[in-house]
Amino acid sequence: MPMDHLGDRQRNLSARSKTGAPADDTGTDRQAAFRTEGLSKTYGAGGPNEVRALDGVDLELPSEELVVLLGPSGSGKSTLLNILGGLDHATRGAAWFREMELTAMTDRQLTRYRRDHVGFVFQFYNLVASLTARENVELVTDIAMDPMPAAEALSLVGLDARLDHFPAQLSGGEQQRVAIARAIAKRPEVLLCDEPTGALDSRTGVAVLSALEAVNARFGTTILVITHNADIERMAHRVIRFQDGRVIDVARNRNRVAAEGIRW
Amino acid sequence: MVKPRAIDRKLLRDLRRLWSQVAAIALVLACGVAILLTAFGMIRALDTTLNDYYGRQRFAEMFASVRRAPGKLVEEIRAIEGVRSAEARKVGPVTLDLPDRPAPGSGRLMSLPAGAPLLNMPLLVSGRMPDPDSDREVAVNARFAQANGFRPGDGLAAIANGRRLDLTITGMLRSPEFLYSLPPGGLMPDDAGFAIIWMPERAAGAVLDLEGAINDVALTLHATAVTAEVADRVDALLAPWGGTGVRLRDQHPSHAFIAAELQQLRNMTVVLPPIFFVIAGFLVNMLLGRIVALERAEIGLLKALGYRKSEIALHYLLLAMLVACIGIAIGWLAGSWLAGGMARIYARFFDFPWLIRPDGLDVYAISGLLALVVAGLGAARAALTAARLAPAVAMAPPAPPNFGKGPLDRLAAGRWLSQPAKMVLRGLLRWPVRAAMTMLGLSAGVAILVASSFMIDAMDVVMDSAFYRANRQHATLVLGAEAPAGAALQARALPGVLRVEPQFDLAVTLRNGHLSKRLSITAQPPGGDLVRILDTEGRIVAAPETALMLSRQLAEQLQVGPGDMVEVEVAGDRERDFSEPVAAVTRQYLGLGAYMDHDALAARLGRAPRVTALHLALDPAALPEFQAALKTLPTLAASVMLTEVRDSFRETIRQNIRWNTILFLTISGLITAGVAYNGARIQLSERARELASLRILGFTRTEAASILLGETAVLALLAQPLGWGIGALIAQGMVSGFDSDLYRIPLVLTPANFARASLLTLTAILAAALLVRRRFDRLDLLDVLKTRE
């Protein structure tokens, strides 16, 4: 059973959660991974179809946390994630990754930033159909500075036996785990996940969440997870709720549950 | 070995996945490369070979004929400033009695100077040169010997000036003067029936009644010489002796023919490869445009992963480059093979002793580079689009295209149209440039067929006009010298002769101001029924009693029309020059023509009518007796059996046309099928979801497929008239390109030609559509719907 060794890590994670307790309720003693000030994004500005996807968001997200972003469709979660990931530009306001001001970067600098610091996991996996699992991961290891071997990344998500399978030969959960392996292979500091379990059933979804949890625990990777699934918030360090482009609530989760304990 | 990067492996797998479209594009590109390679290679091979051969054998630059001049005149010619060397020759026609031929053959007797020839040095192929002191020894051209199975030491019976000569062949020669040689009155080379015979000077003088005299001069000039001045002085020296005027190398029949061939090759390089390159570039553009559209998510992913714009653009450019490389490889192989084949054709057609084929690595490099550039240009737009896609945009499915509300769109919204028809129509209107380009691509196939197959109809018209309407005689006897009109009666007395029509050919220069043309005026008696003149509409007309008729080509060159006066300079007898009005313009496809009434010309020259050729109608039953009698005829230079000429002409044309037809059918089929297949495949990938939805809504497979292929069908139909038009233009261009003094072809565009071209291209399009349809049938539609766009 490929998930067994993840189970081991799960136990490690739980142990660490007990010992490495944050100093206070807000948990902001750690260095912030992301910070935003009045971050806004407007589509079709000035036109009849103007959409305010993000409307003056101020946030501070500490490092090494697993943060869940909740909210209805169109509430601004994905837009925030895209801007923090350097995939999109803000209309107004500013965003920082550590000391780097993302909103002041050129396209070229953003490319560099994504290459060196960020890993992405998408709802529809976005694997390249013509590449095997290993080769999909190698897309990243080919260009990253200090990557782990592709096989190791896949082993981390429990896919040792599926290295040379094409996406079409893998189940949905397996494909998403390839995508996670691809995202973590470069040892990113942050992992941005847009609905990583959105297309999966409960059982495979849990396997994917376990993999994320393990990555967070083992490497201290800051992970942002967008989801519609409120059950997932139970495994987060922190939960941010969105509505109409604004943050309406930021809550710390005092009673974290291991991913394996989640069902939907 | 360095392990290829994952993104490069994607490239190779994409290439394999797209193999059918890649093959279609590569083949079109290969055609361009191959033609460029072949034509360039052959042009260079011919050029190099000619220069080498002409240089080594000292092919003369200037030629002059004279009726009979004293031998010492050549010293005066050598003394002209600018003349490097000059050589006098004795030249005359002979008839040959060949053992295996019922009709007499003909030959051109050339004197061999006592020492080694200075100019036009023949090349000994086998045997030895004749002994300068021998009366009987001759050398013949190798082709003639080969065609008749002659070997050194064999005998050859010839008749010259009424005397029968029993000659001995000592050797076989080749000469730069006779790379291409036509027998007198012939239209096609006749290796077996026409010989070049080299005879030692002394013996030739005796045979041709030119002892101590000459009738032909060849010259080369110093590099600094002014050709026109030298020509004038040579003309002046020869005029009193019946000089017929100087001819330069480009008027030399053999060289003129090769030059025309070279020009055709050059035209081919200019016209054909660009067509293929443009179409291939367009196909690359279509293919990559579609791939980039379909791979938006993957492009977004690569960007999210941190790939640079340049890396992504390069990825798609490389795909195009790989397609180009496949095309180049095929093109190089095909081009090398074609060049070899063409070299063999040239070797058969022209009597080259060798054919130098320069290695031409640069031609390979240039053709390859062009193909790469074409593919790169074709891919540029798609590669830039890919590079410019914003990563977040790339990750989201594309917005539905904006279907407009223009006047055409309102037409497409008409209630009278079914929904599927609206889908087809709106698809066309939404991407008008793509639709127009596809239509243009499809019309290229039609155009190529129209332009290539019009030659078949054109040659039919040429054959019909030249051999069935204008020249209806069974045989023509070319006389060695001007004969009195009574020769016609003698010919009438030959066995089997039913009818005789005499003809008088007068070598002249026609002049209108500074424009002049050297040729022969053909004079015929009125009421001729065997050889007739056709007017510009193809109607039979009689030569007027007091005026000239000129072929249209000639009239255009001299810039004269009916009513204009033309000066006639009589070659070798300038005292008899006269002026004559032009009465009418005639139609003629082979050579140039000037016609006059037989008696009127005699009156102009102030002497009794003469005869230089006799056209005969024969009783087929008496043919053997007739041919046997010809062999004893003293004054004959050559006899032309028109039936044989017709057959050999038709056979040559048929062979050429067969190869051309195969070549152009292949090319057109590749282009048409390539464009249609690519277009329909792109439709399929773009509309897979739409079509899947329709299937689920209850449309049958055929109904859904009809939407898929509807666009291709509409474009294919629209492409037909466009293709006819473009084809007609290309054909018009070819007619102009072929136009030379030697021959020209008419522009014959028949409905059958258009219909044939359309039928063939529509078949190719149908085949391509069926391939795509099959793919559509195999598509798992539910699967299509389940995946993200």
pLDDT in tens, A240-256: 999 999 999 999 998 89
CB B668 within 8 A of CB B763: no
Q: Do B76 and B122 sit in the same domain of this protein?
A: yes
Q: Do B437 and B577 sit in the same domain of this protein?
A: no
Tell me the residue ranges of DSSP E strands in B82-190: 83-89, 91-97, 105-112, 123-127, 137-141, 155-160, 163-174
Q: Return the SS3 of B659.
A: helix
Q: For position B172, what pLDDT does the model report?
A: 96
Q: Which residues of B touch A120 (CB under 8 A)?
A: 301, 304-305
Q: A132, A139, A141, A145: which to substitute to probe chain B, counting the most B Cβ within 10 Å? A: A139
* Tally of structural domains, chain A: 1
Q: A128, A164, A189, A191: which to substitute to probe chain B, counting the most B Cβ within 10 Å? A: A128
Asked if A182 reaches chain B (Cβ–Cβ under 8 Å), the answer is yes
Helix spans in B350-471 (H): 361-388, 391-395, 407-412, 419-430, 432-463
Using the 3D structure, point to which of B205, B223, B249 is the last residue of a domain: B249
Q: Which residues of A touch B308 (CB under 8 A)?
A: 108, 111
Q: Stretch A19-32: mean pLDDT, rounded? A: 49
pLDDT single digits (tens) A57-90: 999 999 999 999 999 988 999 899 989 998 889 9
Asked if B101 reaches chain A (Cβ–Cβ under 8 Å), the answer is no
Q: Return the SS3 of B694.
A: helix
Neighbouring-strand partners of residue B163: B160
Contact B5 A138 (CB under 8 A): yes
CA distance A136 to chain B (A): 7
Q: Do B145 and B75 sit in the same domain of this protein?
A: yes
Contact A114 B305 (CB under 8 A): yes
Contact A135 B391 (CB under 8 A): no
CB B200 within 8 A of CB B112: yes
Can you read off the two tokens belonging to residue A205? 């979804």
Q: Do B344 and B369 sit in the same domain of this protein?
A: yes
Q: What's the number of CA atoms in the CB half-sphere (13 Å) around residue B5? A: 11
Helix spans in A118-169 (H): 133-141, 150-156
Residue A235 or residue B679, greater confidence: A235
Asked if A107 reaches chain B (Cβ–Cβ under 8 Å), the answer is yes
Q: Do B98 and B17 sit in the same domain of this protein?
A: no
Asked, for residue B329, whether it belongs to a domain, the answer is: yes
Q: Do B125 and B225 sit in the same domain of this protein?
A: yes
- Name the residue in chain A with its Cα closest to that of B305: A115
pLDDT single digits (tens) B719-744: 999 999 999 998 888 788 777 777 78
Closest CA to B681 of B773, B588, B750: B773
Q: Do B142 and B185 sit in the same domain of this protein?
A: yes
Report d(CA B635, CA B637) in Å as an integer.
Answer: 7
Could you list the residue range(s) of the whole structural domain that residue B769 is in? Answer: 431-471+642-789
CA distance B367 to chain A (A): 32
Closest CA to A191 of A158, A159, A215, A155: A215
Q: Which residues of A touch B391 (CB under 8 A)?
A: 86-88, 114
Contact A115 B306 (CB under 8 A): yes
Using the 3D structure, point to which of B249, B269, B294 is the last residue of a domain: B249
Residues B595, B600, B606: CA angle, nearest 5 degrees = 120
Element (H, E) at A209: helix A202-219
Type of residue found at B495: P
Report d(CA A211, CA A10) in Å as an integer.
Answer: 9
- Name the residue in chain B with its Cα closest to that of A124: B788
Q: For position B635, what pLDDT does the model report?
A: 76
DSSP result, A81-106:
HHHHTTSS--SEEEEEETTEEGGG--
- Name the residue in chain B with its Cα closest to that of A183: B305
Closest CB to B306: pick one of A88, A111, A135: A111
Closest CB to A138: pick one of B6, B302, B395: B6
Closest CB to A87: pick one of B308, B392, B788: B392
pLDDT single digits (tens) B681-729: 877 877 777 777 777 667 777 888 888 888 889 999 999 999 999 999 9
Q: Return the SS3 of B108.
A: strand
Q: In chain B, which among 530-569 make CB contacts under 8 A with chain A?
A: none
By CB atoms closer than 10 A (0-12, 13-18, 19+), residue B350 is buried
User: Beta strand B475-484 with B497-512: parallel, antiparallel or unpaired?
Assistant: unpaired
User: Beta strand B91-97 with B105-112: parallel, antiparallel or unpaired?
Assistant: antiparallel
Could you list the residue range(s) of the whole structural domain that residue A256 is in? Answer: 4-17+26-261
Q: Return the SS3 of B499.
A: strand
Closest CB to B307: pick one of A82, A122, A143: A143
Closest CA to B685 of B23, B9, B20, B7: B20
Closest CA to B733 of B750, B719, B751, B745: B745
Type of residue found at B548: L
With cut-offs at 50, 70 and 90, classify the pLDDT of residue A25.
Answer: very low
- Name the residue in chain A with its Cα closest to that of B296: A126
Closest CB to B306: pick one of A114, A136, A138: A114
Q: Which residues of B touch A122 (CB under 8 A)?
A: 301, 395
Q: Return the SS3 of A127.
A: coil
* Tally of structural domains, chain B: 4
CATH code, domain with A237? 3.40.50.300
Report d(CA A56, CA A61) in Å as an integer.
Answer: 16
CB B549 within 8 A of CB B584: yes
Q: Do B584 and B659 sit in the same domain of this protein?
A: no
Asked if B297 reaches chain A (Cβ–Cβ under 8 Å), the answer is yes
Asked if A142 reaches chain B (Cβ–Cβ under 8 Å), the answer is yes
Q: Which residues of A touch B390 (CB under 8 A)?
A: 87-88
Contact A124 B13 (CB under 8 A): no
Contact B10 A128 (CB under 8 A): yes
Using the 3D structure, point to which of B572, B602, B618 is the last residue of a domain: B618
Asked if B6 reaches chain A (Cβ–Cβ under 8 Å), the answer is yes
Neighbouring-strand partners of residue B121: none
In the DSSP assignment, the letter for residue B583 is E
Q: Do B282 and B374 sit in the same domain of this protein?
A: yes
Q: In chain A, which among 122-141 make CB contacts under 8 A with chain B?
A: 122, 124, 126, 128, 130-131, 135-140
Q: B8, B17, B294, B301: which to substitute to probe chain A, counting the most A Cβ within 10 Å? A: B301
Closest CB to A122: pick one of B10, B307, B395: B395
Type of residue found at A5: H
Q: Which residues of A touch B784 (CB under 8 A)?
A: none
Q: Sheet harboring A190-194: ordered strands across? A: A118-121, A190-194, A222-227, A66-70, A238-243, A246-252
Contact A135 B392 (CB under 8 A): no
Report d(CA B744, CA B462) in Å as an integer.
Answer: 9
- Name the residue in chain B with its Cα closest to that of A133: B6
Q: What is the mean pLDDT of each run of 10 residues along chain B (789 residues)?
A: 82 86 86 89 88 93 93 93 94 89 89 88 94 94 94 92 90 94 82 94 92 93 92 90 87 88 82 84 86 84 88 94 95 90 82 81 92 95 90 67 61 66 80 84 89 85 86 88 86 92 91 90 86 84 83 92 92 84 88 89 89 92 89 80 83 78 81 83 78 73 83 92 93 80 84 93 91 82 55
Asked if B433 reaches chain A (Cβ–Cβ under 8 Å), the answer is no
Closest CB to A142: pick one of B5, B301, B391: B5
Report d(CA B342, CA B418) in Å as an integer.
Answer: 55
Q: Return the SS3 of B100.
A: coil
Q: Which residues of B touch A115 (CB under 8 A)?
A: 305-307
Q: For position A246, what pLDDT does the model report?
A: 94
Q: Determine the length of chain B.
A: 789
Asked, for residue B483, whether it belongs to a domain, the answer is: no
Q: Which residues, 6+ apart, have CB-to-CB distance to A135 below 8 Å? A: A128, A150, B6, B9, B10
Q: Which residues of B touch A91 (CB under 8 A)?
A: none
Report d(CA B281, CA B674) in Å as an integer.
Answer: 12
Q: Do B239 and B288 sit in the same domain of this protein?
A: no
Q: Which residues of A touch B6 (CB under 8 A)?
A: 131, 135-139, 142
Q: Return the SS3 of A220.
A: coil
Q: For position A1, what pLDDT does the model report?
A: 31
Q: For position B229, what pLDDT does the model report?
A: 92
Contact A138 B13 (CB under 8 A): no
CA distance A126 to chain B (A): 7
Q: Which residues of A touch B307 (CB under 8 A)?
A: 111, 115, 143
Asked, for residue B653, whether it belongs to a domain, the answer is: yes
Q: For position B403, what pLDDT does the model report?
A: 60
- Name the residue in chain B with its Cα closest to that of A127: B298
How many A-B residue pairs are in contact by the CB < 8 A criterion? 79
ipTM: 0.72
Asked if B5 reaches chain A (Cβ–Cβ under 8 Å), the answer is yes
CB B241 within 8 A of CB B68: yes
Asked if A88 reaches chain B (Cβ–Cβ under 8 Å), the answer is yes
- Name the residue in chain B with its Cα closest to that of A118: B305
CB A27 within 8 A of CB A20: no
Asked if B92 reaches chain A (Cβ–Cβ under 8 Å), the answer is no
CA torsion sign, B432 to B433 to B438 to B444? positive
Asked, for residue B521, whether it belongs to a domain, the answer is: yes
CB B372 within 8 A of CB B324: yes
Contact A135 B307 (CB under 8 A): no
In the DSSP assignment, the letter for residue B240 is G
